[in-house]
Amino acid sequence: MTSQETGTLSSTPRTTDSDESPAPWHDLPAEQQPAWPDGAELRRVVTALRTAPPLVFAGECDQLRSRLAAVARGEAFLLQGGDCAETFEGVSADQVSGKLKTLLQMGMVLTYAGSVPVVKVGRLAGQYAKPRSSATETREGVTLPVYRGDAVNGQAFTDEQRRPDPHRLMRAYHASSATLNLVRAFMTGGYGGLRQLHAWNRDFVRTSPAGRRYEALAREIDHALSFMAACGSEPDERLTNEFYASHEALLLDYEGALTRIDSRTGERYDTSAHMVWIGERTRRLDGAHIAFAASVRNPVGVKLGPSTTPQEVVDLVERLDPAREPGRLTLISRMGAAKVRDRLPALVEKVQATGAQVVWACDPMHGNTFTTASGRKTRRFDDVLDEVRGFFEVHDGLGGYAGGIHVELTGEDVTECVGGGHDILPDQLELRYETACDPRLNRGQALDLAFMVSEVHRASRTRRTARAGARA
Ligand code: PEP
Ligand code: CO
């Protein structure tokens, strides 16, 4: 998403065609859709969304697909992250900038300490809808619809707030638009400057207990930067100012309304984000969500939990990447630390046998959630690290490539996940527990993770190179 591409008129999609034919998924079972109380109002909002300007352009989605193809080939690494659930209140310059800064700092650590170009994709500018395990929530004998994300209803436990309101879809569109505008401005406004990012990383290394473990890596980054400055070779082309937006494609009314025909190619693109993924709860093969993902040209992802069978993954590959196009499909494994080494190998082997060059990413968050005695949902930082390690071990063992991580994080010093450098204890979760849905890594935990992934990535590359050398 550079300034040049965003101004390219030739990639502006037309906004007609898709309105006239029925959506390819319209008569298939669609799980996790809100029970909108007023169908006529929903239709009015959807009609308005259909003519609203696209949030991203088809050409940008194609560019991301080519970046992800490099990841699929083992030449780059995917860093995808952001809130579990964005909120309308969270659309402030400070909050968006905090998340972006954290992701860019992580990207820089991975680029230099891990020595790999990083494709940066935010879970932002559209992450406003959540799948839930129960349709209702009961408190003190009162039962109300569950909170499904700001695009659907409000968090407050009142009748009025919990009623699904289709006007929220339009608010989600505007909030996404404002967030993307901030992201585009931050990225072109020079905030990704190498020295600034490294200064922030240095701060982390100097001032935090977790950071001190990475002094040697930080010194290597210092040397790399000094060397580049001495050669007059800044900015480094490995560290691009590209940043992409993604979210879970959950609300099909919303995603469908923003799906447009690209006038260059006649192909359908979901212009709500560069990349969208289908969640663990909505990935059934005969369901509407997979049919929707199959119908658009964006790069798409699918979450894979521990119950996924090898045959299901093969069917997903056939359905979503029939042309075997590197970068089209990202498989996001979220097995849990205890299961990843056991469940993932069979899936990876089956996909390898299809010949598809997918991106394999690890979401080390969603398989590691538990509830504390006091009723807070949390995750242990050590489990997060362990799942990432297991993910690399599995891919290394099968001669594959561990292509990326997908994490829930924030730029704030929240206390939502336990452990990490400052060793947040279960009874400290109350201090700053602010998430609208799942517990996120705070800034220090996120950087700690980035340094750790860099080490693992390096070790894994050394093994791959040695293997390739032995074969030659
Ligand atoms: C999420 O990413 O917030 C989520 C709900 O994940 P999953 O579909 O993997 O459970
Ligand atoms: Co989540």
Which of the residue ranges 72-86, 176-190, 291-305 would you say has the lowest mean pLDDT?
Answer: 176-190
Q: What is the per-residue DSSP string for 178-230?
A: HHHHHHHHHHHTTTT-HHHHHHHHHHHHHHSTTGGGGHHHHHHHHHHHHHHHH
Binding site membership of 84 for ligand 1 (Cβ less than 6 Å): yes
Atom 1 (ligand 1): residue with closest C-alpha? 84
How far is ligand 2, taken at its centre, from the CA of residue 32, in Å?
Answer: 15
How far is ligand 2, taken at its centre, from the CA of residue 379, in Å?
Answer: 11
How far is ligand 2, taken at its centre, from the CA of residue 82, in Å?
Answer: 10
Within 8 A by CB and 6+ apart from 418, the residues are 378, 379, 380, 381, 424, 425, 426, 429
pLDDT at 192: 55
Mean of the per-residue pLDDT values for the chain? 91
Cα–Cα distance measured from residue 443 to residue 98, given in angstroms and rounded to the nearest whole number: 9
Within 8 A by CB and 6+ apart from 191, the residues are 97, 100, 101, 104
Which of the residue ranges 14-18, 90-94, 255-259, 387-391 would you say has the lowest mean pLDDT?
Answer: 14-18
Which of the residue ranges 15-19, 181-185, 409-413 would you say has the lowest mean pLDDT?
Answer: 15-19
Give the largest Cα separation in the chain, rounded: 69
Binding site membership of 81 for ligand 1 (Cβ less than 6 Å): no
For residue 4, pLDDT beyond 60:
no
Look at the alpha carbons of 93, 98, 104, 107 in this order and tell me if their dihedral is positive or negative: negative
For residue 136, pLDDT beyond 50:
yes
How far is ligand 1, taken at its centre, from the CA of residue 459, in Å?
Answer: 29
Between 264 and 152, residue with greater pLDDT: 152
Atom 6 (ligand 1): residue with closest C-alpha? 279
How far is ligand 2, taken at its centre, from the CA of residue 93, in Å?
Answer: 23
Binding site membership of 303 for ligand 1 (Cβ less than 6 Å): yes
Q: pLDDT per residue over 441-459, tens digit each? A: 999 999 999 999 999 999 9
Between 472 and 279, residue with greater pLDDT: 279
For residue 468, pLDDT beyond 90:
no
The reported pTM is: 0.94
Confidence of residue 311 (pLDDT cuts 50, 70, 90): very high
- Ligand 1 atom closest to the Cα of residue 363 is 9
Q: pLDDT per residue over 347-366, tens digit each? A: 999 999 999 999 999 999 99
First to last CA, the chain: 39
- Ligand 1 atom closest to the Cα of residue 279 is 8
pLDDT at 234: 59
Cα distances (angstroms) measured from residue 258 to each of 17, 50, 58, 276: 12, 6, 12, 12
- Ligand 1 atom closest to the Cα of residue 305 is 9
In contact, 409 and 101? CB cutoff 8 Å: no
Q: Which domains does the chain have, with CATH numbers?
A: 39-471 (3.20.20.70)
Confidence of residue 241 (pLDDT cuts 50, 70, 90): confident
Q: Which of 277, 278, 362, 366 to mutate to test the pocket of ligand 1 (most atoms within 8 A of CB)?
A: 366
For residue 12, pLDDT beyond 60:
no
pLDDT at 13: 38
How far is ligand 1, taken at its centre, from the CA of residue 109, in Å?
Answer: 26
Binding site membership of 279 for ligand 1 (Cβ less than 6 Å): yes
For residue 386, pLDDT beyond 70:
yes
Binding site membership of 334 for ligand 1 (Cβ less than 6 Å): yes
Neighbours of ion ligand 2 (CB under 5 A): 84, 438
Atom 10 (ligand 1): residue with closest C-alpha? 280
- Ligand 1 atom closest to the Cα of residue 303 is 9
